[in-house]
Amino acid sequence: MANLYRIMVIDDEKIVGDMAKMSLEQAGYVVETFMNAAPALARLKEERFDVVVTDYKMKGIDGMEVLRMVRKLYPEVKVIMITAFANLDAAIEALRADVHDFFPKPVKIKELKASIERALAEKS
């Protein structure tokens, strides 16, 4: 069931994390949000998440570094990337690094939920 799944959301825009948390928790997921990647990566070393949703471009550690760290720690965990800076090069870079999905902002929460459901279905 959905309430067993843990989702991590990393986005430097507080409203994005807040909206994702509210919507995903209503869908039955356990959600933790972070506004930058350093504490999120520290948390990943303590706790395993089923899906990580990360912003592509953030100050300090960016989404690609988050993706690389998730791959190193938990190769089976799906990563979904969102960005306000969507372009073909960014999408290709992310897809080559095995990102599950890549969405331009503003991401529609319905699409994000569907992507998370697909990611979880692929893991099972």
- Asked whether residue 124 carries a pLDDT value surpassing 80, the answer given is no
- Across the chain, mean pLDDT equals 93
Q: Where do the domains of the chain lie? A: 2-123
Q: pLDDT for 39-79, tens place per residue? A: 999 999 999 999 999 999 999 999 999 999 999 999 999 99
For the question of whether the overall pTM of this predicted structure is more than 0.75, the answer is yes
Cα torsion at 54, 56, 61, 64 (round to 10°)?
90
Q: Domain 2-123 classified CATH 3.40.50.2300?
A: yes
**Reduced to 3 states, what is the DSSP secondary structure of residue 43?**
helix
Helix and strand numbers, DSSP H then E, in the chain: 5, 5
Strands 101-104 and 30-34: unpaired
- pLDDT in the model for residue 93: 86
Residues of the chain above pLDDT 70, percent: 97
